[in-house]
Every structure is written in C-alpha cells, then in structure tokens.
Structure 1
C-alpha cells in the first residue's frame, strides 16, 4: 500500500511571490472564522449569495496575472465568477482573522488588494484581543468605521457583548459581538 504524503500546503500568490501559509494558525483562528461563517450561512439561506471559509482562492486580477489570496471568510453573490477552486469576481464582504504569521500582511497588503478590487466591506478580526475593525469602501478608499474590543463582563462599565453588528450591504445579516468570539477565552 502506498504511503500517504503530507504534502498539502496552503499558500497565496501576491505580486508573483508565493507565501506559504502552513502550518495552520492557532485553533482560535478557526473558531472565529467558523462563528462568522456560520452566521453568514444561516442568513444566506434561499439567497444567490454564498459564504466561503478558508477554502476558495480569490483571483483578484485574473486579467493581469494568476495571483490569488485565500480570505478567511468571503461572501460572494455573482456565481458566474466561480470556477473550480477560485472566484474571479468582486466579493461583497471579506473578513481576515489575524494570526502572528499573517497580521502584518492582513493589515497592509491584503487590505490594499481588497480595496483596489472594490470589496465594499473588510473586517480585520483579532482572536487574541477579541477585537474587530470594520472598514467600508468609500470613494475607492477604506475608511475605518467601527472598532470593537469585546468586554463581556456585565459588571464592567464598558460591557458591549450584546452590541449588534451588521453587514452594510446586507442589513438583515446581524451578529452580536459575543457571537463572533463565542468559545474564545481571554
């Protein structure tokens, strides 16, 4: 019987440079992505839009090159741009969950990619800080509109766990701050 090789590598290609994304990030990264994805998926029932979590290449300049990134969570509504394991349209929403290995790239390079591509809403989520930054595309530039750090102690003056967040283009898709970080301990 042939031996199975452990040769699957998760990678992204930006400006012709391949970035190795293996090994996987901390388990909290996956919990946060799963929480956001599950909420999106629940609200997208009977919709033409689809939510993807860490499993679809986003080819952001298919007419120019074969570069791609793999967003942690991505919401797409134009299915004609789905082919095989890639999407070549413009996502309506992307969330990147920070890890020590990807934080700088998520906050700079990938943010610039999504901005240039016209992604209307971009979230940067930090499991470690239990924080969310929400950027809206306005006049071709991302503007930080909301920034939250979860405070889930009801006795604290800054308690905000029940704060409701919604997607700008999809106001029916709502989630509480505490739902994003469910099962993430401090």
Structure 2
C-alpha cells in the first residue's frame, strides 16, 4: 500500500509552504504524498539511537546531522526555491556542505540519508525515495529494517546506486562516505525495547 496522495494536482515549494502544519506532506516531482501518522515507538527508538551515535561522531566536525521533520529541497537545477518541486523529510540526514543549509533546512543532496522503515512507508522509501536520492546525488542511503534486523546500504558510484549491500544489525557498521560514523548495532538493539 502506497502513501496517500493529496490530490491529482502538481505543486511547488511555494505551495508547500502555505499548507497547514497539522498534516505533513512530502513533495516529489510535484506530487504531494501525505506522510503517515506518527511512526511506531520502535521506529523512534532506532532513529534516536542512530542519530545519537552520528551526532557524537560528528561533534566538532563540519558535517551536521538532522532528524525529521527537516525539509530537504532537491532542485533539478538552479531554479528559485519557490519553483522547486521536490521536498522530502528523511528520518536522518547528514550534510557536510554548510552552504546547502539555511533557516528552512537543506537545499541540495545530503551526504548520508537514513530511513527507518515502517510498514506504511516501506515501499515508498524502497522504491520512490531510493530513485529520488540516486537522481539527486545522495552519496549514501541506508534503509534500516527494525523488524528484520538488517540494513540495506546504497552507495553512489558514477552517478548510480547499483546493487546494495545488506548487513545484519550485528557488531558495527561504518558509513562509507563518512567513516568517522560507526554505528554500533549491539548498542542500538540493547537500547531499543
């Protein structure tokens, strides 16, 4: 089951900014997808554990982690913000180019994106957002499967993700594009419950 569409219209970031805050949307190629209700507790626990480890590893370094809701605008070129037709809110992003950051979030591809899969969003994250992040130039994309205890890792090489690496949530795993971040899965799992 896919995420509900707002309607059959196409929108831009200018439209997105006028929508009420009580219902969140992601805008992908002008199509507005209603975000699911608040994620399950285990989703939040996984996200906070991963984000906490990333935050600690990046302390004092130029790269910055952010957790949802945090707008990531992905322009196709140099169009004005109001004309951007893609705005997403990944669970966790790390941005190393501070020029991409502004008061509204990030404009341009983050270096690392993590989505913790939920039953209601898994297909969206695995298919639509994977293709989007590849096209936008996200250097590394992790899909964390909290139920199956695996992480699927896509790394951008020559402009494409290619075949993913799949790892069990055991021991540790370094972020390929940010090797200073090493996620200790045993610590994550020990603190989720």
| TMscore range, shorter length | 0.7 to 0.9
Bigger radius of gyration among the two: 1
Give me the TM-score of the superposition, normalised by structure 2: 0.80
TM-score by length of 1: 0.83
Partner of 2:139: 120
* Corresponding residue number in structure 1 for 2:8: none
Whole-Å separation in 2 of the counterparts to 1:107 and 1:60: 18
1:99 is aligned to: 118
Of 169, 175, 179 in structure 2, the residue corresponding to residue 167 of structure 1 is: 175
Give the whole-Å Cα distance in 1 for the aligned partners of 2:61 and 2:186.
Answer: 26
Moved over 6 A (4+): none
Relative to its length, the structure with more helix (as a share) is 2
Q: 1:19-168, aligned counterparts within 5 Å?
A: 19-61=33-75, 63=79, 65-150=84-169, 161-162=170-171, 164-168=172-176
- Please give the root-mean-square deviation of Cα atoms over the aligned residues, in Å: 1.9
Higher RCO (C-alpha under 8 Å, 6+ residues apart): 2
Q: Distance in 2 between matches of 1:84 and 1:66?
A: 19
Report the Cα offset of residue 47 of structure 1.
1.1
Q: Hey, what's the Cα distance between the residues in 2 that align with 1:124 and 1:109?
A: 13
Question: Alignment partner for residue 185 of structure 2, among 169, 173, 177?
Answer: 177
Task: Give the Cα–Cα distance (whole angstroms) in 1 for the partners of residues 92 and 190 of structure 2.
Answer: 16
Q: 1:155: which partner in 2?
A: none
Contact 1:133–1:144 (Cα < 8 Å) also in 2:
no
Q: Distance in 1 between matches of 2:67 and 2:147?
A: 19
Q: Which has the larger displacement, 19-28 or 106-115?
A: 19-28
